[in-house]
């Protein structure tokens, strides 16, 4: 299934940055995530960025003085990241590697202080333990992580019942996942609860903070909402 994900994001890499630049909701959510990260990352931390995409977060972290090793399974995304590294002169801060987050055993043991996955990359796997089983091998003692994962319930989507749209309202609850379509490539997306995540991590990890993103406010695909309903959007935030 990850082969379909790889091809989908290879295709999307050409317009990925442009889409974010034009999406007010997505930019706001990334700002919220960055504030969260800066509360927990420590000076001198070496960060492993999973599903790094075009490196939007990697560039930000590097510019704030952190060492980042970015991995992604999409060559197209990493090509964009490499161009940014050269353009910003950040070769001493960012390294990158074509690698799936299910293959973390190929990385050096106890090499990272922090693991970061943003915006639902981990929703591309059915079983989170395919990824998390490697964390103890590559995290240093007292290492930390932040995983931004799409949950099984979305109040915004459930509200679609009011419009008679029952299938999209409950699509996240499908037992075997939900079909996603990116750039004409179809693959299955799986929605994970906090309970699922804690079970996948096991007893070696302690929960520090849980934070909701767009728990009530519209998700990024409702990108026209802020323009059409600016006051309501501000209130929902």
Secondary structure (3-state) at 114: strand
Query: Are 125 and 196 within 8 A, CB to CB?
Result: no
* Statement: residue 3 has pLDDT above 80: yes
Distances (CA, A) of 120 to 53, 161, 224, 229: 12, 24, 21, 26
* Statement: residue 6 has pLDDT above 70: yes
Alpha-helix residue ranges (DSSP H) falling in 47-127: 56-63, 75-88
Q: Write down the pLDDT at residue 192.
A: 97
Parallel/antiparallel/unpaired status of strands 94-98 and 67-72: parallel
Query: Are 220 and 20 within 8 A, CB to CB?
Result: no
Q: What is the pLDDT of residues 78-95, one digit of tens each?
A: 999 999 999 999 999 999
Q: Write down the pLDDT at residue 108.
A: 84
Q: What is the pLDDT of residues 95-112, one digit of tens each?
A: 999 999 999 999 988 899
* Statement: residue 1 has pLDDT above 70: no
Mean pLDDT of 52-67: 98
The average confidence (pLDDT) of the chain is 95
Q: What is the pLDDT of residues 161-219, one digit of tens each?
A: 999 998 889 999 998 999 999 999 999 999 999 999 999 999 999 999 999 999 889 99
DSSP E strands: which ranges in the chain? 46-50, 67-72, 94-98, 112-117, 139-147, 178-182, 185-189
Query: Are 90 and 39 within 8 A, CB to CB?
Result: no
Give 122's Cβ-side CA count (13 Å radius): 24
Q: How far apart are CA 174 and CA 167, in angstroms?
A: 10
Q: Write down the pLDDT at residue 206.
A: 95
Query: Are 125 and 149 within 8 A, CB to CB?
Result: no
Token pair 């695909």 in the structure block, residue: 221
How is residue 213 annotated by DSSP? Answer: S
Q: How far apart are CA 81 and CA 96, in angstroms?
A: 8
Q: What is the dihedral of CA 99, 101, 107, 113, to 10 degrees?
A: 130
Q: What is the pLDDT of residues 126-150, one digit of tens each?
A: 999 999 999 999 999 999 999 999 9
Closest CA to 99 of 59, 72, 118: 72
How is residue 224 annotated by DSSP? Answer: T
What superfamily in CATH does domain 2-150+192-228 come from? Vaccinia Virus protein VP39 (3.40.50.150)
Q: How far apart are CA 195 and CA 151, in angstroms?
A: 10
């Amino acid at each position: 299934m990850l082969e379909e994900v790889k091809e989908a994001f290879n295709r999307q890499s050409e317009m990925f940055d442009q889409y974010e630049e034009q999406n007010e909701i997505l930019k706001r959510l990334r700002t919220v995530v960055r504030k969260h990260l800066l509360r927990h990352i420590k000076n001198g931390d070496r960060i492993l960025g999973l599903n790094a995409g075009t490196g939007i977060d990697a560039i930000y972290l590097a510019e704030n003085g952190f060492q980042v090793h970015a991995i992604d399974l999409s060559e197209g995304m990493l090509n964009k990241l490499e161009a940014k590294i050269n353009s910003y002169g950040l070769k001493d801060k960012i390294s990158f590697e074509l690698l799936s987050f299910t293959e973390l055993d190929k990385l050096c043991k106890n090499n990272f202080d922090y693991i970061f996955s943003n915006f639902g990359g981990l929703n591309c796997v059915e079983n989170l333990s395919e990824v998390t089983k490697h964390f103890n091998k590559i995290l240093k003692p007292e290492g930390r992580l932040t995983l931004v994962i799409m949950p099984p319930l979305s109040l915004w989507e459930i509200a679609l019942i009011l419009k008679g749209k029952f299938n999209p309202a409950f699509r996240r609850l499908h037992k075997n996942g939900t079909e996603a379509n990116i750039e004409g490539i179809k693959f299955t997306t799986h929605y994970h609860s906090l309970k699922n995540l804690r079970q996948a991590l096991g007893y070696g990890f302690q929960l520090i903070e849980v934070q909701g993103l767009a728990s009530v406010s519209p998700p990024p695909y409702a990108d026209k909402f802020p323009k059409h309903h600016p006051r309501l959007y501000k209130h929902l935030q």
